[in-house]
Structure 1
Amino acid sequence: MTDTPPQHHREGGTTGRNESAEERADRRWADLLQELRVAQTGVQILFGFLLAVVFQPRFADLSTANRTIYVVTVLLGSATAAALIGPVSYHRLLTGRHVKPQTVVWASRLTVLGLVLLFCTMCSALLLILRVALHNTLSLWLVGAMALWSLLCWFVFPAWLLAQASSNRES
């Protein structure tokens, strides 16, 4: 480590670490890769199941509405996989080109987009499954409840924690 001053965030606070921009980018990249490993595995399993559904005997019995939901779900799953696998391409194509800090920023944005798409994919898949399983409007309420729970876990709680941390720094 060098004796450089702590790095500053856009908000004006420090990172609390004595690291260069390159070291910070390396650390953030390693963190992002760990997060992506978890998300990619889940997306690949979900997408694989979605692709197999069309080959099941009961698929022919689906209503037009359920087939439409299925097609939308498969397209969302494909977009999700692309967004969450995208940072791997960034890394491979941009390694050694001295743009790691920018690569981390754009890969992080793509990962957040992937999480939003994953949220949509999961809600759509859940809607299809519950419509087939329950044959009633209860499925919409259950999907709504699970969507709300996912939004809380994935976005609201982290935003709340960030707001709490910001207000503590300002105090």
Structure 2
Amino acid sequence: ANLTCVEVRKRREASFVIIRAWIFLCEDIQVKELDKRASGQAFEVILGSPAPDAKAEFPLSPPPKKDLSLEEIQRKLEAAEERRKSHEAEVLKHLAEKREHEKEVLQKALEESNNFSKMAEEKLNQKMEANKEKRSAIMAAMNEKFKEKDKKLEEVRKNKENKEVSCEEN
């Protein structure tokens, strides 16, 4: 049988009332420990026969519920509505805080990404500038070398021409 939580709770409360009544009415009670588990403890309660002169201090059935007036019902409904609204406002506040935190985290990540990009770009520009300067220096050195070779070649040509001219004159 499918029971709601309220029905299960009512049956459990009624069972506890009956057990308490038996405990007060009985003279000899034995309690045996059955089992110890991580989830709880189990006991077996052995009740003796009730004493003939004992009167029940507890009723065997739960006390009848009093009828609620329309005002009490309305007040309870209003209180429940207030609790619901309060809970809803708290949930919305929590969600807003969570969104704000997410925005902050996203903004921070974006800033870090931009900073990293700028630093990488600056580093790359510095390397490129250094390579450009190095290449210019190498090219200038090579040009200087070629000019010197050209000078030597020109001198050799002049010397050769001078020798040829002097040989022809002789």
TM-score normalised per structure 2:
0.24
Task: Indicate the structure whose relative CO is greater, using CA pairs within 8 Å and at least 6 residues apart.
Answer: 1
- Between Structure 1 and Structure 2, which shows a larger proportion of strand residues? 2
TM-score normalised per structure 1:
0.24
- Between Structure 1 and Structure 2, which shows a larger proportion of helix residues? 1
Of the two, which has the highest radius of gyration?
Answer: 2
